[in-house]
Every structure is written in C-alpha cells, then in structure tokens.
Amino acid sequence: MQDTRVGFGSKIGGILAAAGSAVGLGNIWRFPYETGNHGGAAFILVYLGCVLFLGLPIMVAEFSIGRSSKASTGKSFSVLAPGTQWKWVGYLGVLTGFLILGYYSVVAGWTLEYILEAGINGFANNRPEDFVVSFQSFSQNPWKPLFWLIVFLLMTHYIIVKGVKNGIEKSSKIMMPLLFIIVIVLAICSITLPNSQKGLEFLFNPDFSKLNSSVFLSALGQAFFSLSLGMGCLSTYASYFGKDAKLGNTAVSVATIDTLVAILGGVIIFPAAFSVGIQPDAGPSLIFITLPNVFQQAFSGIPILAYIFSVSFYVLLALAALTSTISMHEVSTAFLNEKYGMSRGRAAKIVTAGCIVIGVISSLSLGVMQDYTLFGKGIFDALDFVTAKIMLPLGGMLISIFVGWYLDKSRVKNEFTNYGKMKLGLFNVYIFILKYVSPLAISAIFIKELNLI
C-alpha cells in the first residue's frame, strides 16, 4: 500500500529538496540582520550551539516522524498516535507554516522588484540616501509589493502543482547548484574589497560583552527558522524519502549546508558593508537599503561589476526564497490533500489564495495599515515574532517530547538505524537530548525571555 505514495526519485534529490527548504531568506536576509542587531560573532556562537545541540536532533526526530508515518505533518501525528491529542501538534505546524509563508512571500516578492531594478541598472548613480527613500516608497506603496507577492506565490504554486518529483525535486536540483555557485562567487568578490577585514572580524571575532538578554531567544528562533524546523516542514519532506535515506547523515548534510550558506551570506554582506563604512545593524531592511548602496560604492571604479554583483545577489535571494516557499506550501497542500481528499491542484489553489490574503495584510501593514498593531507591533513584525520566536520553538519542543517520550522506542530506533542496517552510534545521545535537553532548554529560554514568571 505504502509504495503507491509518490516520493523523491533519488537520495540526492531528497537532500537537495530539504536543503532547499532550509536555505532561504532566513540565511541571507534574516541571519545577517539578527547577527548585526546582536553584535556579531558572539551571537553566531550561540546560534551554532542551538543548531548543533537542538537543531540536529530535532531534525532527525522530524525526519523519523515523516518517514515512519508516510504522511505529511498534519496527518502524521494521527497516524502515529491515533485517538490522542497529539494531532494538535500537526495542526499547529500547518498553521505556523501557513502564517510564515504569508509574510515570507512579501519579502520574497521584494527580491523580484530588486532583480528588475538592478537589471535595468536603476541603482547606478544613486546617492546613499536615495536607497532609503526608494526602499521606503516601494515597500510602503499599496500596489507594487502586492503585485510581486502574488507573482511569487504563483511561481510557488506552479511548481507545487507539478508534484513532488517533477516539481519540488526537479526544481531543487536545478536551483540549489546555481545558488551555491552564486554564493561562493559573491563571497570571494566581497572579501577582496578594501577594508573587508573589519567585516570579517565582526563575523568571526566574538565580543561577549555584546551578548544582551534577548540573544538566546533570537538565536533559538533563528536556528529553527533557518533549519525549517518546528512545524513539520522537513517531516513532510521526509515522508517522501526512500527507505535507504540515512536520516542522521541527511540531517548533518542539511544543517551543514544551511549553516555554510548563512555564514557565507554574512561574508558577502559584512565585509562589503564595512568596506564602505556602513553599520551592520540596519535591521530587516539591511539587504534592501544597505546592500545596493554598498555594491555601487564598493565597485564604483568598475560599474559593470557593480551591475553583475547586484543582479546576481537578488537572483540568489529569489532562488533561495523559492525553494523555501515551495516547502512551506507543500505542508498545507499535502494536508488538505491527505486529510480532506482534495486533489493537489485544488488544495494548492486554496493554500495560494489564503497566503495571498495573509501576504497582502502583512505587506500593507508596512505602509497604509501601519496603525493596526498586534502585541504592540505592526502585523508584519508581529507575525515574524510569534511564528519564529514562539510557535517554532514550541513546536520543536513538542516534537522532541513526542519522539523522546511517547513514540515506541523500537520504531524510533528503526528509523535511526534504517531497520538495523546502520549502527546505533549516537542513538543514546539523541534520545537524551530529545527527552531532557531540548524541552528544558527551550522552556528555560521561554521563561526567561518572555518574562513568563
């Protein structure tokens, strides 16, 4: 019965799709501004700790849930724990992914505007202050960002409708290698700029006095966001993995690729910013205001390089974003398809339409709807805060508890060892982290940083 379910055609296809989900705006847009806001290298160290000790084990746990249930996250808990309340963890995941996709697509849409702007050489001859004005007037414009948001969601929709193998897997196999090439070339260009030293120091030389109180929640949220964890996105992809996929190895590959791209994103951005004396803590607009300016100034003697650098950078962002939006879309589409028996096409249409609504509201909240707030923040920022800093870590904690405490040990072991074909290796460490470390660490961070007591 289970063999009729479509899956990825190859192991490498599965790895690239999962890496495609992980590598996204989180690496090149969110990671640099979070790093910039929290003082650089010291933040990165805390972040790496979160990836290694919480991210990796939770990723393996998600993979196990997906592959052993052969269902997307919205249904997998009902398959593995029938008749229990665990199903709510799956539903929470579907809701989280849907909300993230809504506001994420807004930023993804911006990348298309910037490709166009860079492509028609619209950045040349701008003065530094012009970039601020043009970003603000663009992002606050009631129409233009909505247009790009819809275009981006339709591109995502198109790939999703083509299916798991011909859509998701095939597009990842083309886009991911392209993305690696662009990241590496841009990073090399950036470190050859004069004064790039300062940027590298900011990234790699920790100053622990810069660690302020919100750093742990931010690093934790960033780790979940960047690795696509805590909502069953990777567990949904794992439901398409073959029996021979090695879950531990795949998790190590995905986390390594994701971390490398984030660090290389920093290597592209900070040396370039410092080389022209721009401060790195500009926040979410960093890559849209600071960078185009940086590119023009850094390569001011060689305009053709500035041109190529700018266009490739925004193409890179768009590619990275697309492989991620696909993965979030898939979670909701597969849920409607499996739970309510809708065709993929119909399910995808509903998801796309719903995301357009959330996206439009988030986008307008940066302009004409600025005065509407949730938890004291604009709607866009509130969505980012609630999903990345609360819902994902909470989902991750529940997933850890589910696999660590509830799920039958022999099933967990079988997934870990591919039915005894591989050694148990770090199995005990893995279970110890899921049972104790991750629930305690995540609760402690919540209690401290959300002032729960």
**Which of 26, 39, 66, 378 contacts ligand TRP by CB under 6 A?**
26
**Which of 250, 324, 352, 400 contacts ligand TRP by CB under 6 A?**
324
Select the span of 5-13, 25-33, 306-314, 353-361 touching ligand TRP (CB under 6 A). Answer: 25-33
Residues 363-392 that bind ligand TRP (CB under 6 A): 392
Residues 231-270 that bind ligand TRP (CB under 6 A): 231, 233
Tell me the HSE value of 154 on the side-chain side, using a 13 A CA sphere. Answer: 7
Smallest separation (angstroms) from ligand TRP to the CB of 422: 27
Select the span of 54-62, 222-230, 308-316, 372-380 touching ligand TRP (CB under 6 A). Answer: 222-230
Nearer to ligand TRP, 21 or 275 (CB): 21
Q: Tell me the CA end-to-end span of the chain in Å, nearest whole number.
A: 50
Smallest separation (angstroms) from ligand TRP to the CB of 306: 26
**Which of 225, 240, 295, 307 contacts ligand TRP by CB under 6 A?**
225
114 close to 108: Cβ distance less than 8 angstroms: no
Smallest separation (angstroms) from ligand TRP to the CB of 33: 13
Structure tokens at 284: 């979410």
Interaction between residue 111 and ligand TRP (CB under 6 A) = no
Interaction between residue 327 and ligand TRP (CB under 6 A) = yes
Residues 412-451 that bind ligand TRP (CB under 6 A): none
Interaction between residue 27 and ligand TRP (CB under 6 A) = yes
Nearer to ligand TRP, 95 or 191 (CB): 95
Smallest separation (angstroms) from ligand TRP to the CB of 421: 29
Smallest separation (angstroms) from ligand TRP to the CB of 86: 19
Interaction between residue 25 and ligand TRP (CB under 6 A) = yes
**Which of 328, 348, 391, 399 contacts ligand TRP by CB under 6 A?**
328
Nearer to ligand TRP, 306 or 355 (CB): 355
**3 state SS for the chain:** CHHHCCCCCCHHHHHHHHHHHHCCHHHHHHHHHHHHHCCCHHHHHHHHHHHHHHHHHHHHHHHHHHHHHCCCHHHHHHHHCCCCCCHHHHHHHHHHHHHHHHHHHHHHHHHHHHHHHHHCCCCCCCCHHHHHHHHHHHHHCCCHHHHHHHHHHHHHHHHHHCCHHHHHHHHHHHHHHHHHHHHHHHHHHHHCCCCHHHHHHHHHCCCHHHCCCCHHHHHHHHHHHHCCCCCCHHHHHHCCCCCCCCHHHHHHHHHHHHHHHHHHHHHHHHHHHHHCCCCCCCHHHHHHHHHHHHHHHHCCCCHHHHHHHHHHHHHHHHHHHHHHHHHHHHHHHHHHHHHHCCCHHHHHHHHHHHHHHHHHHHHHCCCCCCCCEECCEEHHHHHHHHHHHHHHHHHHHHHHHHHHHHCCHHHHHHHHHCCCCCCCCCHHHHHHHHHHHHHHHHHHHHHHHCCCC
How many residues at the interface with ligand TRP, by CB under 6 A?
17
Residues 180-199 that bind ligand TRP (CB under 6 A): none
**Which of 78, 172, 218, 228 contacts ligand TRP by CB under 6 A?**
228
**Which of 24, 39, 271, 439 contacts ligand TRP by CB under 6 A?**
24
Smallest separation (angstroms) from ligand TRP to the CB of 65: 14
Smallest separation (angstroms) from ligand TRP to the CB of 321: 7
User: For binding to ligand TRP (CB under 6 A), which residues are involved?
Assistant: 21-22, 24-27, 97, 100, 225-226, 228, 231, 233, 324, 327-328, 392
